[in-house]
A and B are shown apart, each in its own frame.
Chain A
Amino acid sequence: MRRSARLAVLVVVIVVLQVAVFPHLRVFGVVPDLGLLVALAVGYYEGPEAGAIVGFAAGLGFDLFLETPLGLNALSYAIVGYSIGVFESGLFRSPRWLPSLLGGLGGLAGGLLFIGIGVLVGVDAVKGAQGIETIAYAALYDALLAPFVFFLVRRVLGSESRVRDAWSMR
């Protein structure tokens, strides 16, 4: 199967896991952003363009199940996926803890983007201090799951991945 097809299947599986499984696995009342983690991993391994496209697809898939405006997650995931690809090009080494760091920071950035755009388009639920608290917990959860998602994406992309293995020092 081509890599793009494998990635498409991964995105579908991730969206189903997000809406059907992870609501049962809340930590401090929050769910992780699995689609965002996939966008981060793809952006990291494949570059900004792929990160943005996968982020858009994963976010849009998740948006279909939410009552927040369609495209809100797609936009925040795409921007974060793109940014991580740009950031990756400036990295000289990739220690083992990098996926967790990227997951945490990416989760925080994605959450802040979601809240910022949400406030602009009039989503009431994201307003207030509790919104920041929620994305902080979600970012921690993202950091926890990031190594697994990065590993999974690495396997899906296969050996022809553009970038080096995140699990080893470079």
Chain B
Amino acid sequence: MAGARRASRRRYVLVLIVLTCLTLITLDSRNGRSGPLGAMGRVAHRIVSPVQGAIDSIAGPVSDWWNGVTDGGNLKRRNRDLEEQNAALRAKQASADQAIKENADLKAALALRNALLVKNVTANIVGRDPGNFDPTLTIDKGSEAGISVDMPVIAAGGVVVGKVLDVWNGGASIQVLTDPSFSVGVQTPGHGPGAPATTGLASGKVGSHDLAVQFDAGTRVLRGDAIVTSPQSTLFPGGLPVGKITSAANQPGNTGVDATIHPYVNLGALQHVTVLLWSSGTPGPVLPTTTTTTTSTTTTTIFGATTTTTTTRAGG
């Protein structure tokens, strides 16, 4: 009798837990991270972020050693810096290639320049991929630095990393571009008057580190083409380097072109990122920080490099 009552109680507890979980899943799926459940997550992040930061700073060498043991090589630390530089150089190369091609490409390069002049915040990555199905990065700057949800995140050279998914005081989580639920408007370089630049929507691919994109039928896309963010994108300023085309094929019936983009950014090697303080839907304004003295001094900071121009013009 007692055994039956105990078994009944166990089942009752399990049913209660299952119903609670299903309710939480439903609420979270419908409301996203804007409701009270999201607030709980932000509080948890705020509490644990300093611990993550401290562990990240001391765990770097241990992590490198461990990766060397488990991934079959101990050159990762050296490679990390080189890969980051390489990614920046590839991005610059891509931008340079574009700039010498066509008028549309020049516009893209101008858009990139504009994007880099948008006010930005550089942040260190203190956590990455806490789970096996959660391709996110955690950074050490948050709402106190002016960061808000959906702001674009880039790496050295302006290459696209992802967007801000959630933000709290002292940190933020970044959805990376390889996440299957991430998508961004992109543009091809164009190949002459008969094959102008075309835009499409690129998304992360399930089980892959590449992006999938679909262009209109007749679009000319070549392997190795440099893909940048579309000027029509509401999520990113136009002209930011995304990646290069690794494959392209016509859809059955010639209804469109399916292409695969290999991103420039090496997410595993990233140590810090730059968040563009750019609101979704705005045209990518140039917002240099301006200080006025008796003579006019304009200071523009682009990725830590400061350019100062002094003129004798009075006032600001």
Contacts and interface: CB of A to CB of B under 8 A. Distances in A.
Q: Do the two chains bind?
A: yes
Nearest to B129: A23
B55 to A, nearest CB: 5
Contacts of A26: 66-67, 70
Interface string B40-60: 110011001001100110010
B130 interface: yes
Most buried by A among B13, B14, B45, B59: B14
B14 A71 contact: no
Contact of A48 (B14, B29, B175, B180): B14
B248 interface: no
A168 interface: no
A80 to B, nearest CB: 12
Given A124-B180, A125-B206, A66 B131 contact: yes
A92 interface: no
A67 B175 contact: yes
Contacts of A73: 131
Contact of B179 (A21, A117, A125): A125
A78 B21 contact: yes
A70 B59 contact: no
Majority secondary structure of chain B interface residues (helix, strand, loop or mixed):
helix
Nearest to B205: A128
A24 interface: yes
A117 B206 contact: no
Contacts of A93: none
A45 to B, nearest CB: 15
B159 to A, nearest CB: 22
A26 B66 CA distance: 8
Interface string B18-31: 10111111011100
A25 B66 contact: yes
Interface in A40-71: 47-49, 52-53, 56, 60-62, 64-71
Given A66-B134, A130-B206, A52 B17 contact: yes
Contact of B14 (A52, A62, A66, A111): A52
Interface in B154-176: 165-166, 173, 175
Contacts of B23: 71
Interface residues of B, number: 52
A71 B70 contact: no
Given A49-B13, A74-B21, A130 B207 contact: yes
Given A66-B130, A69-B25, A78-B21, 20 more contacts: A19-B127, A19-B130, A20-B51, A21-B55, A24-B66, A47-B10, A48-B14, A52-B14, A56-B21, A65-B41, A68-B134, A70-B25, A71-B20, A75-B18, A75-B21, A75-B25, A78-B14, A130-B206, A130-B208, A131-B133
Interface of B: 9-10, 13-14, 17-18, 20-25, 27-29, 37, 40-41, 44-45, 48, 51-52, 55-56, 59, 62-63, 66-67, 70, 127-136, 165-166, 173, 175, 179-181, 204, 206-208
17 contacts: A16-B48, A19-B130, A21-B55, A24-B63, A25-B63, A26-B67, A52-B17, A53-B17, A56-B17, A69-B25, A71-B21, A78-B21, A121-B29, A123-B133, A124-B179, A125-B181, A130-B208
